[in-house]
Structure 1
Amino acid sequence: MDIILMDVRMPVMDGLEAARYIRWSNKENARDSPIIAMTANAFTEDRRRVLEAGMNEHLAKPLES
């Protein structure tokens, strides 16, 4: 299974728009592949927007183990 780690802030097309594009494309596994947001935006509103865009999870940077 493939996993997409998506930066939310990118030039030209942000991660939210890219996730929507992937989810609505006709490519194989586009609707099933997990998309995980990697972002410094850690507010509740940011998490909501990520999930509404079709991503599966929101991880705030920096990540700590």
Structure 2
Amino acid sequence: MLMDIRLPEMVGLTAARKIRELPRADAKEVPIIAMTANAFDDDRRKSEEAGMNGHLAKPIEPELLYSTLAGAVSPREKPDAEM
């Protein structure tokens, strides 16, 4: 999901945290990518701390969008149970 940081009713960072806290099996896994004009390192850090999987600053570069989306939806490796 692409999440704007400056939502009218709730800040996107708060929305992402609330999604991650939901009592659903997929709440921790659904990809959430910030799409925002906030482009500083501190903004990126806040997105990560809120549980977002990526941070894209506007104006969006198509290739960066595609690679970020691909990274967010690609199957994650599961740890080897024998290790």
TM-score by length of 2: 0.71
| Runs ≥4 residues deviating over 2 A | none
Q: Percent identity of the aligned residues?
A: 61
- Could you list the runs of 5+ residues in structure 1 that have no partner in the other structure? none
Say which structure is richer in helix. Answer: 2
- Could you list the runs of 5+ residues in structure 2 that have no partner in the other structure? 63-83
1:1-33: CA deviation from partner (whole Å, max 9, x where unpaired): xxx110000112110000000000012411001
RMSD: 0.9
Say which structure is richer in strand. Answer: 1
The count of residues paired between Structure 1 and Structure 2 equals 62
C-alpha deviation, 1:62, in angstroms: 0.7
Structure 1 residue aligned with 2:9? 12
| Structure with bigger RCO (C-alpha 8 Å, 6+ apart) | 1
